[in-house]
Amino acid sequence: MPKNREILRRPLVSEKSMEQQESGIYTFVVDRLANKFEIAKAVEVMFNVKVDRVRTTKIYPKPKRTRTGNTHTSTQKKAEVQLQEGYVIETLKVQ
């Protein structure tokens, strides 16, 4: 099993994800091969919280034009982690 830092790549910061944090849902870009159980365990260990639900979505490559030709972005996986009532991840809060 990969380490927690390898499963959770980075938090996803967008308007939608910031609004969802008020209701206890945090969004992360995760390893493509990680499953929901590994993601939940990684969040619980890293941030010392209890996870209620995990939803995952694949982000497929999008075409991009560059000066040297056409290319595409890489495939990623996004996870929305809902915490149990009363738990908050303070380090991800943006004022």
pLDDT in tens, 6-30: 899 999 999 999 999 989 999 999 9
Residue 12 DSSP SS3: coil
Domain residue spans in the chain?
A: 4-86
Q: Pick the closest to residue 8 from 49, 39, 45 (CA basis).
A: 39
Give the distance, in angstroms, between the CA of residue 82 and the centroid of all CA atoms in the same chain: 11
Strand partners, 66: 69
Cα 71 to Cα 58, 60, 61, 68, distances in angstroms: 19, 13, 10, 9
CATH class of 4-86: alpha beta
* pLDDT over 90 (residue 53): yes
**Single pTM value for the model:** 0.86
The single-letter code of the amino acid at 94 is: V
